Structure 1
Amino acid sequence: MARAKVPPTVRQRRLGAELRRLREHAELSVTRAGELFGAPQSRISNIEAGNYAVSADRVRALARLYECSDDALVQALAAMTGGRTRGWWDEYRELLPAALVEVAEFEHEATALRVAVLVAMPGLLQCAEHVRAAYNQNVPALRPFEIEHCTAFRIRRQGVLHREMPLPYEAIIHEAALRMGIGGTDVVRAQLRHLMDMSEYENVTIQVIPFGRADFPAAGGQPITYVCGPVPQLDTVLLDADHGLEVLHAEDQLARYREVLDRMRRCALDPAESRTFIHKIAKSL
């Protein structure tokens, strides 16, 4: 029996997309690029789709062909090369939706994360009780073993905040998310305590937007995750929409969401004030 084709990684797809962007900026067709590079058109197309592993030297050669003079970008692209490396999240590919699994890969590859939520807790800051309670409210309903798979996966994702070189993480949370009441009073209290504990980590910054701050940009109400890459051109925005995960990395999209997050941060309480604010809500329960 033939083995199923292994899908390209997030890193491979992004490398291909950036090489396509460089080619299009150089105003070269796939056919012409292949002729100049000495490769068939299909090879160029497969590289750009992330289906074909390419070496660092070939990335540099393509960058020269496309007259890219941004050395930092070229070096970052060269560092993204190589074959498919199996990550812990691959264990879940047969158990969970592909988009959910890829979130873990984005987090693993990030150099920093910026998150903003209005009515849901950031996934990397959820305690186990909250995770399980939230999945129990899923529509359509999940079976018990599916809830356990999802819960274990989310908790494992949080390892990026606790590893040897912990990921810098900034979360902006609206007061509505703190008061949603998921799981009942005991779970809410445990979740708020967990937020206060996480806010003590040097790599974690938590800021709260209280009710009454009407000047913040809601940006459609979707949870926003801004994934910082090794250079700004390789940043990515993830939007958690009802219909699935949206992945954005066009230059104008990145600029828009940087501004949205910057404005939300300016509307929020500072980290110390936010910790006190969360503590007051917990005490009131």
Structure 2
Amino acid sequence: MSARPTPTARRVRLASELRKLRERAGLTATEAAKELGTSSGQLSNVETARFGVSAERIRAMARAYSCTDQELVTALAAMTGDRTRGWWEQYREVLPTGMLDLAELEHHAVALRTAYTAHIPGLLQTLDHAREIFRQSIPALTPPEIEHRASHRIKRQGVLYRPDPTPYRTIIHEAALRMKVGGPTVAREQLRYLLDMSERAHITILVIPFDVGAFPGSGQSVGYASGPVPQLDTVHLDQSHGPVLLDAEAQLAKYRQLLDRMEDVALDQEKARDHIHHIAQHL
């Protein structure tokens, strides 16, 4: 096992899931270490993501913990297999860690689902729109910092363009569509881009119009990344200090229900396209 002094969010999640398996088995760290033929200190290092762990070791842990959910075990083992440095690593010295964790989360997700009430989703922003958003940051960013953040945001969109693109479903409130971010020209280009992307088979864009009034989740920006099994799903919430990742079972259930409720009041894909087109014509 190799030490990982600065583990990524994905490695931390793997470690957390291994700890949950042990706790569900009713074993203390000392008892589990004895079953695995290791020390409690080494096991603690694995469960806190300080040490890496192999796929074979994960399967041995699952056997020791009497875990019969083979889909979960296979998914956990697969989380150890990708040891290549993702494209986001080139930004490690210039961007907050949370932005890198979000890119890694989206890269590995099998499906993505989001809802935005005041912003265009980052995965669907044009470069000019993204630059203008980052120009409004507090404290103010330098021009190079703006470019780093904007280029990172655009590279995140690669999950929608790769040969096997990630299915993406998003809800956007009309307020976000009507904000003239960067001025009318940039705003119209952004809306045209949304219309173009909505034609792709793996992308669904829904709209909540002003006429709906109050609805569940108003005022929130929510992202839901589906893992290879439901236990490995993750919610991300946009905060002023960066993305917050949630994975507790109750939290996942809450945000699935919230997104379902928001979709219930949204215009369907065809009506959403018509609505976006109408707004773009009158900017």
In the alignment, the residues of structure 1 paired with residue 137 and residue 232 of structure 2 have an alpha-carbon distance, to the nearest angstrom, of 33
Aligned-residue sequence identity (percent) comes to 54
- TM-score under structure 1 length normalisation: 0.95
Q: Secondary structure at the match of 1:197?
A: helix
Residue 42 of structure 1 deviates from its aligned partner by 1.6
2:44 is aligned with 1:45: yes
Residue 243 of structure 1 deviates from its aligned partner by 3.3
* Counterpart for residue 195 of structure 1: 194
In the alignment, the residues of structure 2 paired with residue 109 and residue 127 of structure 1 have an alpha-carbon distance, to the nearest angstrom, of 23
Residue 85 of structure 1 deviates from its aligned partner by 2.5
In the alignment, the residues of structure 2 paired with residue 102 and residue 38 of structure 1 have an alpha-carbon distance, to the nearest angstrom, of 33
In the alignment, the residues of structure 2 paired with residue 281 and residue 6 of structure 1 have an alpha-carbon distance, to the nearest angstrom, of 49
* Counterpart for residue 263 of structure 1: 261
- Correspondence for 2:251 among 253, 266, 277: 253
Moved more, 181-190 or 78-87: 78-87
Change in 2 beyond 3 A, CA 1:5/1:54? closer
* Counterpart for residue 165 of structure 2: 166
- Structure 2 residue identity aligned to 1:160: V
- Structure 2 residue identity aligned to 1:40: S
RMSD value over aligned CA atoms? Answer: 1.5
- Taking the TM superposition and a 5 Å limit, the aligned residue runs for 1:171-190 are 171-190=170-189
Q: Secondary structure at the match of 2:180?
A: coil
- Correspondence for 2:239 among 232, 241, 256: 241
Q: Secondary structure at the match of 2:113?
A: strand
* Counterpart for residue 70 of structure 1: 69
> Once the two structures are superposed, what CA deviation does each residue of 1:59-96 show, in whole Å capped at 9, x if it has no partner?
11111111112111111111112474311100000010
In the alignment, the residues of structure 2 paired with residue 73 and residue 46 of structure 1 have an alpha-carbon distance, to the nearest angstrom, of 22
Moved more, 68-77 or 118-127: 68-77
- Structure 1 residue identity aligned to 2:53: V
CA contact (8 A) 1:115 1:171 kept: yes
* Counterpart for residue 111 of structure 2: 112
Moved more, 56-65 or 156-165: 56-65
Residue 177 of structure 1 deviates from its aligned partner by 0.7
In the alignment, the residues of structure 2 paired with residue 36 and residue 82 of structure 1 have an alpha-carbon distance, to the nearest angstrom, of 24
- Structure 1 residue identity aligned to 2:98: A
Give the number of equivalent residue pairs.
Answer: 281
> Once the two structures are superposed, what CA deviation does each residue of 1:186-234 show, in whole Å capped at 9, x if it has no partner?
1111110110011011111000000121352126x23111000000010
Residue 277 of structure 1 deviates from its aligned partner by 0.3
> Once the two structures are superposed, what CA deviation does each residue of 1:6-51 show, in whole Å capped at 9, x if it has no partner?
5223332111111101111112111221122111112111111222
Return structure 1 stretches of 4+ with deviation > 3 angstroms.
none
2:217 is aligned with 1:218: yes
CA contact (8 A) 1:173 1:209 kept: yes
Unaligned runs of 5+ in 2: none
